[in-house]
Amino acid sequence: MTPQSAKTAAELLTRHWDAGTRLDHLPEALRPATREDGYGIQAQWLNHTSKPLFGWKIAATSVAGQRHINVDGPLAGRLLAEMVLPDGATIPLANCLMRVAEVELALRFERALPPRGRPYSVEEVMAAVGTLHPAIEIPDSRYTDFCAVGAPQLIADNACTHRFILGPAATRRWRDVDLAAHAVSAEVAGKSRHDGKGANVLGDPRIALAWIVNELNALGITMGAGEVVTTGTCVTPIPVVPGDVVKASYGGFGELSVRFA
């Protein structure tokens, strides 16, 4: 895929994102054939922001999630600063197709990890992390049927990135905690309770974090100092409708809430 084709594809997707509209799939001339082509389109999303890259997300971090959207592994997406909202934010659902909330653990890097000729180990990746944060992601897609377009087009669509809430850094000594066994929960006020744990994220959020560092490594992309990675949902995605309030608890790492309008 040529740089101009990638740029044109990204412009088409971001126009739909801005307008709250959808397309069935990218036109054949702009359609990525490989994951690498998809990431080439996704990189052009940086032309859609005037601010430094906020961070990254990992989509499809469970087998069930991968089967749901018909992919064979996780997908990386960029978090733009304009997508990030404060705790307690109200998010409109009028143009949101997915309508789910995902309760996640996020980590912020204090040291960059540049590309190199061999993969990074989990230990090397964690040594570069500064802080752990509670997070809620509200994903969405620009495709009418996001389960049918395949991984390259989903990656081009920024791996279903939409809105993101990041809480303050955990004050508890989180490095001593087994993040795979760590429990989180959420309530849809007056409706339902949802429980999960870190192991639902590729077996361990630390494994997920190493996965995305090495995904970027293979693409020649640096994981930058200060960038945040949200590692994937610890609970089954929570369906939401206008009027719902989701309150999430992270077992000593903090609490977050979000309202839907």
Tell me the pLDDT tens digit for each residue of 83-115: 999 999 999 999 999 999 999 999 999 999 999
Pairing of strands 100-109, 75-79: unpaired
Q: Would you say residue 186 lies in a domain?
A: no
Q: Would you say residue 252 lies in a domain?
A: no
Distance CA 103, CA 185 (A): 8
Q: Would you say residue 209 lies in a domain?
A: yes
* For range 239-256, the mean pLDDT: 97
pLDDT at res. 26:
98
pLDDT at res. 214:
98
Tell me the pLDDT tens digit for each residue of 44-63: 999 999 999 999 999 999 88
Distance CA 61, CA 63 (A): 7
3-class secondary structure per residue, the chain: CCHHHHHHHHHHHHHHHHHCCCECCCCHHHCCCCHHHHHHHHHHHHHHCCCCCCEEEEECCCHHHHHHHCCCCCEEEEECHHHEECCCCEECCCCCCCCEEEEEEEEEECCCECCCCCCCCHHHHHHCEEEEEEEEEECCCCECCCCCCCHHHHHHCHHHCCEEEECCCCCCCHHHCCCCCCEEEEEECCCEEEEEEHHHCCCCHHHHHHHHHHHHHHHCCCECCCCEEEEEECCCCEECCCCCEEEEECCCCCEEEEEEC
Amino acid identity for residue 29 in this structure: A
Q: Would you say residue 94 lies in a domain?
A: no
Q: What's the pTM value of the predicted model, to 2 decimals?
A: 0.97
> Percentage of residues in the chain with pLDDT exceeding 70?
100
* For range 168-180, the mean pLDDT: 96
Could you tell me the CATH number of the domain that includes residue 65?
Answer: 3.90.850.10
Q: Would you say residue 241 lies in a domain?
A: no
pLDDT at res. 64:
85
Q: Of 169, 109, 171, 163, whose CA–CA distance to 136 is shortest? A: 163
Q: Would you say residue 172 lies in a domain?
A: yes
The residue segments making up the domain with residue 112 are 3-86+105-181+196-234
Taking the C-alpha atoms of 200, 203, 209 and 213 in order, what is their torsion angle to the nearest 10 degrees? -130
Amino acid identity for residue 83 in this structure: M
User: Judging by beta carbons within 10 Å of its beta carbon (0-12, 13-18, 19+), is residue 169 exposed, middle or buried?
Assistant: middle
In total, how many domains does the chain have? 1
Asked which of 50-54, 64-68, 136-140 is least confident by mean pLDDT, the reply is 64-68
Q: Would you say residue 261 lies in a domain?
A: no
Phi/psi of residue 95, nearest 5 degrees: -110, 15
Q: Would you say residue 61 lies in a domain?
A: yes
